Structures are given as C-alpha cells and as structure tokens.
Copies of this chain bind each other. A is one copy, B any other.
Amino acid sequence: MIEIDGRRLNARLQAFAAIGGTRKGGVNRQALTEEDRRARRLLAELAWARGFSVFQDPMANLFIRRAGQDETLPPMLIGSHLDSQPAGGRFDGALGTLSAFEVLESLEDAGIETERPVVVVAWTNEEGCRFAPGCMGSMAFAAGEIPAEWQQKLATDGAAFAGELKATIESLPRAQMLPLGFPIHAYLEVHIEQGPSLEAGGISIGVVTGIQGTRWLNVEITGQTAHAGTTGLAYRRDPLRALTTALSGLYEMIMPSDPDARFTIGRISVEPGSVNAIPDKACCTVDIRHPDPARLDELERSIASGITTEAERQRCTVAISRSFDMPPCTFAADLQQVVERAAAERGLESMNMLSGAFHDALFVNRVAPSALIFVPCLDGLSHNEAEHVEPEHIIAGCQVLAQATLLLVSTADS
C-alpha cells in the first residue's frame, strides 16, 4: 500500500492550469508553444527539487526518473501529456502527468525502494491540434524514429514544427538528452474519460480495454469565385454549396444510424472569404472514429463519395487526403487485471470500457504492455474550458495508479 497526497496533487493541478489559463477557467497550452515550454520547465524544476533526474528525447518527450534498486532493469513508465486544445480543459493530459509525478513523490516520501526504476513521462503533442497528427511524441517513441515528413509541418498559426521542436528542447538545457525510444517494462496512464459512462454509472475507475480507430481527412473543394450580386445560378460553381450540402447529408447518415460511429467537422474555411464573393475554395477537416476497422474504411468511402457527388453537381473539383490514420487497439489483458486489482485493493469500484478518444497509451502499447485508467469528468465534457473532475475522482485515479505501479515494480523480473 502507498498513500498519495491528494492536497498536493490538487494544488499542482491548479498551478499548471494557470500556465496558458483562459478567462473561462480553461487552458490554451498548445503543443510546442511558449506555454507548453513553461509547463515543462515547471515539471522539471519540481523534479530537480526532489532529486529526480530529468531527460528528454529528440521529440521533446520529457522524462523524470526515480532510480530503482536494479538500474539495469527496464523502467516502469507512467504519465500522460501536458499540451492542451486551444480552448481546452485543465485535466485532459495534465491529470495523468501530475498524477504520475505524485506517485513518484509519494514513493519518495514513503521511502519505498522499488526494484525497477520508475519513470514519469510527459509526451509531446498528444492533442494534434496545432500540428497534426496527435500523439506525435508517443508515436515516434514507439517507432524509434521521427518520420521525415514531420520536419516540413507547419502549425495552424504558421510556425514551423522543426523550429518549435528545437526551441522547446532548448528551453530545458539542463535536461539530459536521450535517444528516441528505450526498453520499458510496462506503461500506465491515467486520463479523464472525456465521455459520460463512468459518471452515469457512479463508478470512479474505468479499466480501458481498447481504443477505437481514428481517421482524419482533409477535404478541399475548388470552384470559381464570382460576384455575389451579379452571378446567376447557371454561372455559379460554388464549392461551399457543395460542401454544406454533402456535410448535411453525412451528418444525417453516419451517427444516427451507427451508435459506435463518430463524425466531426472541427474546421471549415473558404477562400477568398469575402462577404460578397462566391468562394472558389471550401475546405474542412473530417474526424471519423469506429472500433471496427472495416467500418472505418466504409465510412471513409461514404464521405468521399458524398462529397464528390455534390462537388460534381456544382461543377467543382475535390481533393481528399488522409492526415492521420490510427487503427483500433486492444490493451494487454494481464495489465487490465493489475489495474482492476489495484482498484479493488483501494476499495474502488471499476468497470471495463472502450475509449472513444485515442491516447498515448495506444502507441506505447505497440512496444510494451500498456494500460489506461479512466476517471469520470463532469457531464462527460472535454476539449472544453468547462471540463471538470471532482477532487475525489482525482485522488481515486492517482491512488489506483500508485497501487498498480507498486504491483508492477514489485513483481519479479520482466
């Protein structure tokens, strides 16, 4: 048994929420921005203050290591991310990262020596909103390399990925550099559910069995700009008419007929963007999710066909490309059992569930057994400044993480 310090954890969450804090009580701390760097620096300072060592890798993944009795053993890895959505909440990512750091401090406070080292991680760019795709840090860690094409990426605000990555790494000059990817024993991540199931069931711990697949598309329809007042219907080639008509049909078709499907248009824009000019370009992003990879393919085909049909009807051309494609995953059953046992040992009810959102654990699961622990959030709200987690659930999640970590580092060799 190990007791975490709930007051310290709550205070930490407040301190980090102030970095990039918004007027509405949320957080705007997008990946590789100055706010992101400030959060990373604060975590590193807290680590150094406790005598832990701080590392980072070429993806700016940040690691905090507490030594084990046998330093040759692959470490137990726990953590999450610190970056946020542009109008994000204070718990998405930060909860898991700071809970993991709280576990490290609690081990230190209790003077518990673990056989394996325990390493806390804050993965880079989980959100994927400033630079797509999401989970860049954990994806590159699992692959052992940074995809070459990432170097050319530009942020939605125009900043270059390569430069922002370099500046972020350099903002922590005291942290030692590690090569990308190293052997780990297992990975545990606490995260808010970002959905309503735990709250609805009155259950404080979700044991995540797997993650649905996600695919992101970029849609660009090209027509012809012309004067809004003089151009009759026969002369119009309006890409926005094509796009809105196609989307209207897809909204009606996809989610209402398949409760497991998710279909979201998060960005839409037109060019030239003048009140009295018919646009010549209409663009949007598409986010589709499904636990079944075959249905994901079907959905992508329906979307492409719906948009192409409407574009042709308006005598427009269309280009659709994938910017992200993440197949569904299943987590290791034995690790799920460790989490269930940890919850039971703390007297907490748990339930198995599928994750609607992807998380870093999905990618780490490719190289080591991983588990994802969910805690309820108010009204299932996330990616929203009003995102909220009750203190009792914060503490429960951290306790289960601490207990499961202890179970995993006390077991014999890997």
Contact = CB atoms under 8 A, between A and B. Distances in A.
A86 B274 contact: yes
Nearest to A323: B275
Interface string A269-302: 1111111111110100101010000000000000
A25 interface: no
Interface stretch (A69-77, A160-168, A225-233, A403-411): A225-233
B267 A268 contact: no
Interface stretch (A60-68, A147-155, A240-248): A240-248
Indicate the member of A264, A265, A285 with the most B CB atoms within 10 Å.
A264
A355 to B, nearest CB: 8
Contacts of A214: 229, 276
Interface string A294-334: 00000000000000000000000000000100000000000
A130 to B, nearest CB: 9
Q: How large is the interface on A (under 10, 10 to 19, 20 to 34, 35 or more residues)?
A: 35 or more
A251 interface: yes
Q: How many copies does the complex hold?
A: 2
Given A228-B266, A248-B248, A262-B228, A87 B384 contact: no
Contact of A381 (B226, B256, B279, B383): B226
Interface string A347-389: 0000000011110000000000000000000001111100000
A122 B171 CA distance: 53
A273 B278 contact: no
Nearest to A87: B272
Contacts of A382: 226-227, 230
A21 interface: no
Given A244-B244, A245-B248, A268-B269, 13 more contacts: A85-B272, A87-B274, A127-B276, A196-B235, A224-B381, A227-B382, A228-B383, A229-B289, A229-B357, A231-B262, A264-B278, A266-B278, A267-B270
